[in-house]
Chains A and B, each alone.
Chain A
Amino acid sequence: MEEIRNKIRTYRTESKLTQEELAEKVGVTRQTIIAIEKGGYAPSLALAFKIAAAFKRPLEEVFTYYKHKR
């Protein structure tokens, strides 16, 4: 099973950004930010780059790819 984990909530709290503000910054709805934070939706590469750029961090620091062994 594949999974993309992220540290958006951590970095968002560090940057003192609300979900609404981050959503506006990267051009998506607040629901999308909530879904990504919860791991319910894997963002596109372009959106992942935008989110990482909003925190001024490299992509691999914000998003991590996991593959579980069965």
Chain B
Amino acid sequence: MNAKQFKIARTLTMLVVTFVVALAVSIQNLYLALAGVAIGMLFMYLVRRQYKVITTDERINYIGGLAGRTSYGVTTLVLAILSMFLIVTGSQDGDIYAESLGVTMSFIVLFSIAVYSLAFAYYNKRHGGD
């Protein structure tokens, strides 16, 4: 399988999975959505095994790291600001739902920071840090 055939197979799989999931949502069938995604993943796994050309290397991993750090920073900041806004406005207006949502979101932000810090500490130690 060459690069062009791989791209066609990937695009077709994405289209079919999107169609099946959209159909499953419209008829409210969870099992159809799950089956569609699972079959799509299995098909892509089999296609990837046939594809001999390298698709990932150190530059892709480096870009992935940069993109991951950027998305982590942006998401965490946006969620933190939004949760503060919800907590403040919720407590001022007496809207318990908004306040609860704000508190929940702030815990998600804290959890995300904790996971990042633990992962950083783990990889730092694994790669020779103190």
Which residue from chain A places its CB closest to the CB of B63 in the assembled complex?
A: A41
The B interface is mostly helix, strand or loop, or mixed, namely loop
- Minimal beta-carbon separation of B89 from chain A (angstroms): 46
Q: Which of chain A's residues have a CB closer than 8 A to the CB of B53?
A: 24, 29
Which A residues, 16 to 49, have Cβ-Cβ distances below 8 Å to chain B? 23-24, 27-29, 31-32, 35, 41, 43-44, 47
Are B54 and A47 closer than 8 Å at their CB atoms? Answer: no
- What is the total of A-B residue contacts with beta carbons within 8 Å? 27
> Are A23 and B58 in contact, with the CB atoms below 8 A?
no
Tell whether, in the assembled complex, residue B59 and residue A27 are in contact, meaning their CB atoms are under 8 Å apart: no
**Chain B residues bordering chain A, tally (CB within 8 A):** 9
A31 touches B59 (CB 8 A): yes
**Once bound together, how far apart are the Cα atoms of A1 and B55, in whole Å?**
32
- Give the shortest distance, in Å, between B41 (CB) and chain A (any CB): 23
| A32 to chain B: closest residue by CB | B59
User: Per-position contact with A for B53-71: 1 when CB-CB < 8 Å, else 0?
Assistant: 1111111101000000000
A-B contact pairs, 14 of them (CB 8 A): A24-B54, A28-B54, A28-B58, A28-B59, A29-B54, A29-B56, A29-B59, A29-B60, A31-B59, A32-B58, A32-B59, A32-B60, A35-B59, A41-B59
